[in-house]
A and B are shown apart, each in its own frame.
With several copies, the nearest count.
Chain A
């Protein structure tokens, strides 16, 4: 993610944010553990069996789920296929460039994918049409339209909402329309470290001055399904443990508010 590329954050501003954080205050009035309020519209794109528009702060993404019949991977002949792609569209930020996904886009996509895959949210065994021959391939594609920090959580919310609402046309396998076999509801919660403070759901300014990032994806049973530390800084083990517990708590709130 871009770090202060706009040059808008002077050292003075950084100092101000840090002083505020020491008193537990953030630029937009949130507490350190508070997620921004999000807006989620499902079925946003009619041509996709599942879709969701997510606005998290001014971060705006559209997630679309397509389901097509195809070949399984040779080493998993009895499973459907799940694939996640994130496009950091050049419209979303002045320095984003057109072209194949760069390392930032790939990281976001892979962390979103891991949260969904490792929670076993989708029962891939139930997506076999003909063993070793034909399975359902679930494509999760995410367009990032506007960038205001915390892409991983915005994209995970969008992907999970789109998967939960998807109704697949079964005719390619001679079947009726069906809902995806959803077993649980993974949620990712991302935190960054600024000075000695750790804040949830960073906005763009906070991301630009943070030293390190940690994402924890959990399921409703309070279990950890995926983690990713990012950026050039570090965490202590205690900070990580605290982040896990925050993630479980905030995850519950998000599920309650947006994914019922």
Chain B
């Protein structure tokens, strides 16, 4: 987690810089079917994040020696556009994006009925056009909409959210400033029907009690985010959350 700062991130009323309370989400908007060529696609705007996801497949895995004779391979590729962050990002994968691609692939594999597509590959391309904290979770949440849009059978959605610690307080869905100057970041993704955890990473400093509070907040938010996913697929668009007054 980032360095200390003099900025007070939570005011005396418990409100955050953008006016949210501890348990509030930023506005989330998902649209499915935004691309022509891809088999499935989705665009998500989550706070200041703007991420487009395209799905191709199931198609024959290539090269052949990578094929799994029992199930489809899910390959997520998380990538940040050069202009998506304040300082220009050099094109191409770095160690961070390779790790994120790995954990996103694993999380999606748990939801997709991979056993129906032996020897196949499902590609999920996640392009971050504008980054604003929580990109992996936002990209993953959009990915399961794009996979559904592609007509690929899933046991359930994958729905994610982060919590973290800011000014010593556990809060939901960190903003960029909270991520930069906070004390912990905990991205989690679940299968919302069962609450099974398919992605969890943490860095920072949390006591066991703080961890419990953070995961409660996340579990509490998951149904709201999943509803936005469902609505996107019913080709409706809904704006959720936003502001804490």
Contact = CB atoms under 8 A, between A and B. Distances in A.
Taking the complex as a whole, does A directly touch B, i.e. does some CB pair lie under 8 Å apart?
yes
A118 B197 contact: no
B200 A229 contact: yes
Contacts of B56: 90-91, 94
Interface of A: 44-48, 51, 58, 60, 62, 64-66, 68, 76, 79, 85, 87, 89-94, 98, 100-101, 103-104, 106-107, 109-110, 114, 117-119, 139, 141, 143, 145-148, 214, 222-237, 240-241, 244-245, 248
A91 B54 contact: yes
Q: Which of B83, B91, B110, B131 has the most CB of A within 10 A?
A: B83
B225 to A, nearest CB: 17
B36 A143 contact: no
Contacts of B24: none
Contacts of B3: 76, 79
Interface in B71-105: 77, 79, 81-88, 91-93, 95-96, 98-99, 101-103
A204 to B, nearest CB: 9
A245 B82 CA distance: 36
10 contacts: A62-B81, A68-B87, A76-B3, A89-B125, A94-B56, A107-B102, A114-B203, A229-B198, A236-B196, A245-B208
A136 to B, nearest CB: 13
A51 B130 CA distance: 11
B106 A230 contact: yes
Interface in B106-136: 106, 109-110, 123, 125, 127, 129-131
A89 B127 contact: yes
Contact of A45 (B109, B130, B198, B203): B130
